[in-house]
Amino acid sequence: MASDRDTEYKTVRGLTRGLQLLNTLNRVDGGASTSTLAQLTGLHRTTVRRLLETLQDEGYVRRSDSDDSYRLSLKVRELSEGFRDEQWISACAAPLLAELLQEVVWPTDLCTLDVDAMVVRETTHRFSRLSFHRSMVGRRLPMLLTATGLAYMAFCPEAEREQIIALLASRDDDEGRLARNRDALDNLLLRTRHRGYGENFMAWNREEKIASIAIPVRAEQRLLGCLNLVYIAKAMTIEQAAARYLPALRRTAELIEQASAASASTLAPSAWTELAQ
């Protein structure tokens, strides 16, 4: 069977089987014997034993002397240390944003917080025929001058909001001046929470012809980031954009939240319990 990947190399079967074994150990409740793992993976018992010994030599599994079972070791956590939340959020969001584009046509972005700005992690700008921008991933957006930043500030936890405001207030720019004017800022964030979305109508001087609306994307009690829709300001008012597109944005945000929750729970609680022992 031909592969969808553009590569001249064949899959390394030993590596594939080793990863399959790690995934199986991650799902079992507690340790598992060689024969149990062979049964669960469909691999020959001798193959399983050889792979387990290799993984044990590398420090990723350990064998119990009491019942000859195998379980994950703490070293497997190193495999996920370099994989940040923003990366798996983007992976979850990309196909959902593509579907959203078919419905709304205007470009949308998924953004997350990076210290004192929102950063575009995934976008449909390069695919939307209504976008003037093609390179958006990695772009930093102001917290208090964009719909995305205001949505995050309005719906993030109070302690986090105060820390961000303190950072912004130390600046000598438009954001700094607004951050130091607490009455004006608090009223702005209160209106944003009341509406349920952030808005920007030609308010950011770098994008004077652009308008946008943005909503929060959550995971349980966490605020993952924000999803926005960007459009040419002369095409419609903020109220018209909200009436037309908020339902689709909210459906997509819910799907991103569900996909992110599923990704976050890939490592079963029982496995984390084993790692802690």
Residue pLDDT, tens place only, 43-74:
999 999 999 999 999 988 988 766 778 888 87
- Residue 259: Cβ within 10 Å count: 18
Q: What is the CATH number that goes with domain 85-264?
A: 3.30.450.40
In the chain, ranges of CATH 1.10.10.10 domains: 13-80
In the chain, ranges of CATH 3.30.450.40 domains: 85-264
Output the pLDDT for position 53. Answer: 92
Residue partners of 211: CB distance under 8 A and separation at least 6 = 199, 200, 201, 202, 230, 231, 232, 233, 236, 238, 241
Output the pLDDT for position 264. Answer: 59
In this prediction the pTM is 0.68
Q: Show the low-confidence residues of the chain (pLDDT under 70).
A: 1-9, 29-30, 65-66, 77-78, 80-88, 134, 205-206, 263-277
Q: What is the CATH number that goes with domain 13-80?
A: 1.10.10.10
